[in-house]
Structure 1
Amino acid sequence: MKYPLPDNSSVLITGATGFTGRWLVDKLLNEKVRVKVIARPSRRAEELKALGCEVFEGQIYDPATVAAACRDIDYIIHIAAAFREAGISDDIYGKVHVDATKLLARAATAIPGFKRFVHVSTMGVHGHIENPPANEESPYGPGDLYQETKLEAELWLRDFAKKSGMSLAVIRPTGIYGPGDRRLLKVFKMAQWPVFPILGYGKCLYHLTHVEDLTNSFLLAATHPAAENEVFLCGDPEAISLVDMVGISAEVTGHMPKILRLPVTPFFWLGDLCELVCKPLKIEPPIYRRRVAFYTKDRSFDTSKIRTRLGFENVYSNRSGIIETVKWYQDKGWL
């Protein structure tokens, strides 16, 4: 592993049953470290137990669960997040992002010899980038409850670390993808249609980070002295347009759809209507405002800080990562 944790150390991972968290768990289980996770009872939690993780079953925002999990650990890598989906009430975002972060941080300060808290935030705290590329110091502009509560948690944690002396590093991932990802799968499925619709008439820039690179950044941030109390955007050196993503996908599939630009405002209205109808019924909306906004926000960043300060090296480029991911989707029969 490129950036290993010290042998015989103990790490607590939140969000371990998710895409990014599970990728990190699999990486660490091949090393001489103890892996603890907090997870709700589920099939995925049972899989983690079978793999050798010490699983603390419960909610990430439950004080008793957090207290039990935070005994005798050296590192916390806090990945857990609540994403917009059917059945999630608005208060869950605050509980998962803000309340859980406070519980974990306060527990960390009571652990003798605790080394570092790695907090996984999001590029979304910056919102739409008017004059790309943005960097870690660019203005905040969260556009929804997910991003607002992620920002609230990050700012509280940075202030808490400064006051308490807790060692902290913050990673703001750009768009996470790779084999196993399902959120960007929708884009690549659409790339197989005869016509690929793009809402709005902007550049539609998106900044990607392969999950292999992202999980490497967590481990580097956990151990590098220069990461102390710093914030790092993690992503490819360059943003990529949605059209170029479709073009790289076509190199694998042999299918390049016709690009069709559509006005975005009616889709915002439709998304609001779908959420209004589906949310009380706990049905996943076929379209919602955040998904529509994906097409309208340029997200392009200067991600050089993590490379210049910490010596981080990307394993994947946009092209190599997308090609690998699309091939994986094909192998799974998803495309």
Structure 2
Amino acid sequence: MRILVTGGAGFIGSEYVRMLLNSPAAVPAEVTVPPPLLEPSLVTVLDKLTYSGNPANLDPVRRDPRLRFVRGDICDPDLVDRVVPGHDVIVHFAAESHVDRSITGAAPFVQTNVVGTQTVLDAALRHETGRFVHVSTDEVYGSVETGSWTETAPLAPNSPYSASKAGSDLLALAYHRTHGMDVVVTRCSNNYGPYQFPEKVVPLFVTNLLDGQPVPLYGDGANVRDWLHVHDHCRGVALVQDKGRAGEVYHIGGGTELTNRELTQRLLDACGAGWERVRPVPDRKGHDRRYSLDITKIGAELGYAPVIDLPTGLAATIRWYRDNRAWWEPLKSHAAL
């Protein structure tokens, strides 16, 4: 099996690549995960290496002869048309994903997430790629006060980022319905784990606390998120790649909902800090109050269940950032985070 992974040098994509090549660096040492589902003969990574794509994320598998790396933009139709042929599966992670950046400038999000997805879909259609896995987010649904979204819930995105992802989801599903392409879509909850660019809440708070710096908490801190370890997410994507039904959407969640205040408290405790280190900041524009995914479908059809609980996963993640300053310090310095 020959797999093309777009965005494979990013946070989630690189863990998927490491998992495919039997080196899942994000798995806590004390956790036993199921053996890999897939045994690829070739894994091609296509990544533009923007600020959040990092070739160092692939260091654990760099010498694997099955790995091929191509630096390039999914919005470049000529390049994509050269890379896609010869692959049996495309797993499409590449995306602009930071909500705050989308609020200050939406154009890159529309370009990458919508036009880029269309470019890869067109190439997959042209070259008759066997399966196209489109990786998306729970944010496409907007906010839910009670209960959990099922895969049939209407899309109601509230940020430019989530709107661009909703558009890409609809494009991917339209290629299935119009052209009969073997497309499946996954939507995940909030990921955390090693190798996450330190603009997102967990690595930003952890690295700030390790450096004795304050951490910014939006609004009243009562926004609720479901937390999913990146390796559990990647296992879910692999199950969908292997056995998901064409034209379907599958939710991948972690099963632990916390308010941002509760998450902050856990991180403060783990880093030996108190609430004097927390700096309230004005709430984000259009900040969704609560996300929650129903994962009944993927569990019943594909046997998915998260295996890395939040206390274990957070502790291992904090250890990783404590032990890997050489990875994140240059990133924070360059991005002025």
- TM interval, shorter chain, is 0.7 to 0.9
Classify 1:126/1:259 alpha carbon distance in 2 versus 1 (closer, same or farther; 3 Å). Answer: farther
SS in 2 for 1:38: strand
Classify 1:250/1:187 alpha carbon distance in 2 versus 1 (closer, same or farther; 3 Å). Answer: closer
Q: Give the corresponding residue for 1:149.
A: 164
The number of equivalent residue pairs is 298
Which of the numbers 159, 178, 194 marks the counterpart of 2:193? 178
Is 1:116–1:166's contact at 8 Å kept on the other side of the alignment?
A: yes
Which of the numbers 86, 94, 97 marks the counterpart of 1:72? 86
Instruction: Deviation per CA, 1:104-144: give whole Å up to 9, x if none.
Output: 222222335x3311001111101222334323223322122
Is 2:89–2:132's contact at 8 Å kept on the other side of the alignment?
A: yes
Q: Give the corresponding residue for 1:39.
A: 47
Classify 1:118/1:194 alpha carbon distance in 2 versus 1 (closer, same or farther; 3 Å). Answer: closer
CA distance in 2, matches of 1:260, 1:251: 12
Alignment of 1:39-188 (within 5 A): 39-40=47-48, 44=55, 51-52=64-65, 53-84=67-98, 85=101, 90-112=106-128, 114-181=129-196, 182=198, 183=200, 184-188=202-206
Deviation at 1:173, TM superposition (A): 1.5
Is 1:16–1:37's contact at 8 Å kept on the other side of the alignment?
A: yes
Q: Which moved more, 1:35-44 or 1:135-144?
A: 35-44
TM-score, normalised via structure 1 length: 0.77
SS in 1 for 2:149: coil
Give the greater-gyration-radius structure (CA).
1
Is 1:132–1:299's contact at 8 Å kept on the other side of the alignment?
A: no
Instruction: Deviation per CA, 1:135-177: give whole Å up to 9, x if none.
Output: 3223322122111111111112112211211111111121111
CA distance in 1, matches of 2:68, 2:85: 12
SS in 2 for 1:236: coil
Deviation at 1:258, TM superposition (A): 5.9
Classify 1:202/1:247 alpha carbon distance in 2 versus 1 (closer, same or farther; 3 Å). Answer: closer
| Structure 1: gaps spanning 5 or more residues | 1-8, 269-288
Is 2:47–2:94's contact at 8 Å kept on the other side of the alignment?
A: no
Alignment of 1:201-240 (within 5 A): 201=220, 203-224=222-243, 226-240=244-258
CA distance in 1, matches of 2:73, 2:218: 37
TM-score, normalised via structure 2 length: 0.77
CA distance in 2, matches of 1:167, 1:215: 20
| Structure 2: gaps spanning 5 or more residues | 23-38, 330-337
SS in 1 for 2:249: strand
Instruction: Deviation per CA, 1:221-278: give whole Å up to 9, x if none.
Output: 1110x4322112211123222233234335533434369796x7xx25xxxxxxxxxx
Q: State whether structure 2 residue 35 is matched by structure 1 residue 27.
A: no
Is 1:49–1:55's contact at 8 Å kept on the other side of the alignment?
A: no
SS in 1 for 2:174: helix
Q: Give the corresponding residue for 2:335.
A: none
Deviation at 1:102, TM superposition (A): 1.5
